[in-house]
Amino acid sequence: MVYQKSIETKKMIVNASKQLFKEQGFRKTTIRQIATKVNDLNSATLYYYFKSKDRIAEEIYAEYYEKIIELSKKLTVDFYQPLLFFYIQTKIHFKSVFATQASKKFYLEIFDLDWFDEFYFQSLFDLAFEIANYYEIDIDKEQIILFFIETGGAERNILLYHMSGRIALEDEKIINYIIKIFPKLLGINEKLINDLVEECDMIIKDVDISQLNFFGN
C-alpha cells in the first residue's frame, strides 16, 4: 500500500512538472511551484522523490525517448538497417520536438543539463558503432564522442537560430539537415544518405506522432 502510494506521488510530481514546463518553461518553473501543484506537497517531500528539478526533466525525457525507440522498432520489425533505423528514430524525435513552441523551448532548455550528454551518448553510442561496422568504417570510441560533440553543438545552434527566426527555413528542411550531420561526419556517401532519408520519409509518412511529446498530450 505504501509502495503504491509512493508510485502515485512520483507520477503526480512528474505530471505537475509536465504541465508547468509546458506553460512557463523549464527554467522559470521552481520546485516550490511543482510541490504546490501536487496538492500542496511539502518541498522536502518532493526532494525525497527527485533530488532536483533537473532529475524531473530527466525522468520526463527518458519516458518520452523510450516511446520513440519503441515506435522505431515497430516500424523496422520486418527489416533492419542501422542507418535507416537512426533516421527513423531521430526524425520522429525531431518532428515531435518541432510540433510546438513549448516542445522546442523545453528541448533547448534541457540540452545543457549535466545528464543530457550522458543520455545522448548512451542512447546512440551502440547504434553509431553499428552504422560504422555496417559500412566498414574504421572508427574508435574517441572519434565517435568527438562526432557526437560536433553534432550536438551544431544541432543546438541550428535550433536556436531557427527559433529566433534567423534561419527562415521550413521545419522539415531544418530536421533533414540536422539528421544528416552525423552520417556525413562518418564519411557516408551523400547520395546514400539522401536515398535513406527519402525511404525514412516513406516509412513514417502516415505515422501519428501527436501523442509523442514531452508533456503527454
The two counts, helices (H) then strands (E), for the chain are 10, 0
32 burial level (CB within 10 Å; 0-12, 13-18, 19+): exposed
Q: Which residue has the cell 552525423?
A: 182
The phi, psi pair for 108, rounded to 5°, reads -65, -35
2 pLDDT above the threshold of 60: no
In angstroms, rounded to a whole number, what is the distance separating the alpha carbons of residues 72 and 90? 9
Supply the pLDDT for residue 102.
93
Query: pLDDT at residue 152 above 70?
Result: yes
- Residue 112 dihedral angles phi and psi, to the nearest 5°: -95, 5
End-to-end CA distance of the chain: 29
Provide the angle, in degrees to the nearest 10, between the axes of the packed helices 82-97 and 101-110: 110
Per-residue pLDDT tens digits for 37-83: 998 788 888 999 999 999 999 999 999 999 999 999 999 988 889 99
d(CA 85, CA 77): 10
